[in-house]
Amino acid sequence: MQTDNVPARPVIGWGRIDVERLGGLAGYGMPGSRLRSRGHVMAEDLNAADLKAVGELFMRAADASDWVRDAFRYYLTRQSDCGPQTVIAPEAAIPEVIRNCVRDELIGP
C-alpha cells in the first residue's frame, strides 16, 4: 500500500472519503480506458468496525502479498483537519460498504 501525506498519528475530524477503483481485467480508470469507477462515503455514516478498518488503511502499509495481478485497487482520499490524504489499497483490504459506494460510468470521447 502506498501513502501520501499520512501523519504518524490518527486524524480526528475527517468527513468525506472519496473512492476511486482502478484496474481489474478491464483496466477501469487506466489511461485510455473509457470506464471510470468512483464514489464517496461520509465517515460518520460508517459503523465502528468499518471506520476502524479505513483508519488502519491510512496508518499502515499493506504487505506485497496483499496485491493480486489483474485485481482492483482502491484510491481512498479523506478530507481531514490536516488536509486531503490519499492511500492506495488492494480490494481485499477495503470494507464492503466502501466497495459498494463505487459506481461505474462511461467517459465520453
The residues spanned by each domain of the chain are: 2-7+14-103
Report the mean per-residue pLDDT for the chain. 79
Which residue intervals of the chain are DSSP H helices? 48-59, 96-100
More confident of the two residues 101 and 9? 101
Quick one: CA torsion of 71, 3, 21, 76, rounded to 10 degrees?
Answer: 140
Q: What confidence category does residue 7 fall into, taking pLDDT thresholds of 50, 70 and 90?
A: very low
pLDDT digits (tens, 9 = 90+) for 84-97: 889 999 988 999 99
Distance CA 15, CA 64 (A): 29
74 or 32, which is more confident:
74
Cell 481485467 -> residue: 25
Side chain identity at 48, as an amino acid letter? A
Q: pLDDT tens-digit profile of 14-45?
A: 788 999 998 877 666 666 677 888 999 998 88
Residue identified by cell 502479498 is 65
Amino acid at the residue 109: P
16, 81 Cβ separation under 8 angstroms: no
Q: Give residue 24's pLDDT.
A: 76
